Amino acid sequence: MSIIVPSIMATTPDQLKASVEKFQPLVTHIHLDVSDGQFASTTLLAPEQLWWPRGWMADIHAMVKNPIDYVDRLIALKPDLIIFHAETGVDLLPIFDRIKHAGIRAGIALLKPTVPSDVAGFINAADHVLVFSGDLGHYGGTASLMQLEKIRLIRAINPKVEIGWDGGVAIDNVFTLTQGGVNILNAGGVLDKAINVSGVYAELTKEITKQGVI
């Protein structure tokens, strides 16, 4: 089963509050971005400034150069999932162990050029693999459907891993992404720019639950 998860990218506490309030009638599961201004050019809220309503699930996508500087700060928030990037060049296995020891799921994100076989050890150890097709630190981007081929390669390494997608999720491609094997569709720009957020969210949900037609 696939689900739509709103993605929040906040640079101020007021932006975060407004986003949470906007999504509160619709969901209880969100995706929060953290960026250090180095791995991605945008500097977003620090971990200590993040929050979400009691009872919600939160996935945190950390676009940071030095995961070791962030892992304990993110664990302290007690999210459902913490995602770091394979491209940091850091050995993520001990970091994954620390995350899992805290009862939190560990995820790895792959940028477009990254070949799954090159990071097979991380994929094997992960609970979640995020296929990243967007623009780091910014809403929108293009959903490069060629990246769907990565899902087959990821599943060959870890058949049971959860697959997420980040970047360019839209009403006209969510069905294709779902049919391609994506479990978690992180919707950022399509909801951030929507005048009628609940209407767009409903359309996205309708698209991923429709039946395929030959």
Q: What is the pLDDT of residues 176-211, one digit of tens each?
A: 999 999 999 999 889 988 899 999 999 999 999 876
List, for residues 141-167, the tens digit of each pLDDT value.
Answer: 676 788 899 999 999 999 999 999 998
Neighbours of 28 (CB within 10 A): 12
CATH of 3-209, one of 3.30.70.1880, 3.40.50.300, 3.20.20.70, 3.30.360.10: 3.20.20.70
In one-letter notation, the amino acid at residue 11 is T
Our CA dihedral for 200, 202, 208, 209, rounded to 10 degrees, sits at -160
Looking at every residue in the chain, the average pLDDT score rounds to 93
For the chain, the domains span 3-209
pLDDT tier at 213, thresholds 50, 70, 90: low
Report pLDDT digits (tens) over 4-29.
Answer: 999 999 999 999 999 999 999 999 99
Helices (H), the chain: 13-23, 71-75, 93-101, 120-125, 149-157, 174-179, 189-192, 197-209
Which pLDDT belongs to residue 161? 97
Is residue 214 pLDDT above 50, yes or no? no
CB atoms inside a 10 Å sphere around CB 37 = 13
Task: Please tell me the distance from the alpha carbon of residue 87 to that of residue 84, in angstroms, as a whole number.
Answer: 9
Looking at residues 37-65, what average pLDDT do you find?
A: 95
> CA 143 to CA 131: how far, in whole Å?
10
pLDDT in tens, 73-126: 999 999 999 999 999 999 999 999 999 999 999 999 999 999 999 999 999 999
